[in-house]
Amino acid sequence: MSVVGDLFREFFLLSFVAFGGATALLPEMHRVVVDHHHWLDDTTFTHLYAIAQAAPGPNVLVVTLIGWEIAGLAGALAATLAMCLPMSVLIYLLIDRWQGFSGKRWQQAVSLGVAPLAVGLVFSGAMLIATSAGLSPAGWILVGAVVLANLRFRELHPLWLIAAGAILGIGGFA
């Protein structure tokens, strides 16, 4: 099977566990793309995540970048489509019946139950990016400063923190 076909299949499967969107999926994408298939190395994976952070648009576009690096335009489109299509179809079919499910005890239980797992996934993704990036001690201080700035000053647009990261990075502080 071609790489494009493999990409489509892998991201199609990933979309079914993407609770919390593409952000929570980072560790699993890394496992599949870097550890399992060896399509990308650690550094490239981290760079693609950084590019997606610095670009406008939904978080899911990191998938597009991964697809592009592995198999060009066909890979980019296949990975994006595979990631978006299954749940889009499902939601298209379910939305009219959603009013009936909404507020039911099982529905609340799943929503409550998935939250702590999603926190763990996002945290794992952050640690993965930090370790794959090969940060210097100054880089870790930058991570801490961004955490504090983002939690402390909610009105501060995240883009400013990204820009600060880029400038400090160029200055050798990461």
Partner 1 sequence: MSTATVPESQSRPDLRALFLGFSAVGLSGFGGVLPFARRMLVDERKWLTAEEFNTQLGLCQFLPGPNVVNLAVVVGKRNRGLAGAIVAPVGLLAGPLAIVLLLAVLYDRFGSLPLAQDMLRGIAAAGCGLLLAMAWRMGAAIKDKAIFLPFTALTVAAIAIFRWPMPLVMVSGLPLSGAVAWWKLGRR
Site residues for partner 1, 47-86, by CB under 8 A, read 47-61, 64-65, 68-69, 73, 76, 80, 83-84, 86
Is there binding between residue 168 and partner 1 (CB under 8 A)? yes
In the complex, the smallest distance separating the C-beta of residue 5 from partner 1, rounded to whole angstroms, is 20
Amino acid 49 reads: Y
**Both structure tokens of 38:** 């060896």
In the complex, the smallest distance separating the C-beta of residue 129 from partner 1, rounded to whole angstroms, is 5
DSSP string, 71-113: HHHHHHHHHHHHHHHHHHHHHHHHGGGHHHHTT-HHHHHHHHH
Nearer to partner 1, 3 or 173 (CB): 173
Task: Evaluate whether 28 touches 17 at the Cβ level (below 8 Å).
Answer: yes
CA 38, CA 15: separation in Å to the nearest integer?
20
CA 25, CA 66: separation in Å to the nearest integer?
13
In the complex, the smallest distance separating the C-beta of residue 158 from partner 1, rounded to whole angstroms, is 4
Interface positions, 15-54, toward partner 1 (CB under 8 A): 15-19, 21-23, 25, 27-28, 31, 35, 46-54
Interface positions, 98-137, toward partner 1 (CB under 8 A): 98-99, 101-102, 105-130, 133-135
Task: Evaluate whether 63 touches 11 at the Cβ level (below 8 Å).
Answer: yes
Nearer to partner 1, 39 or 49 (CB): 49
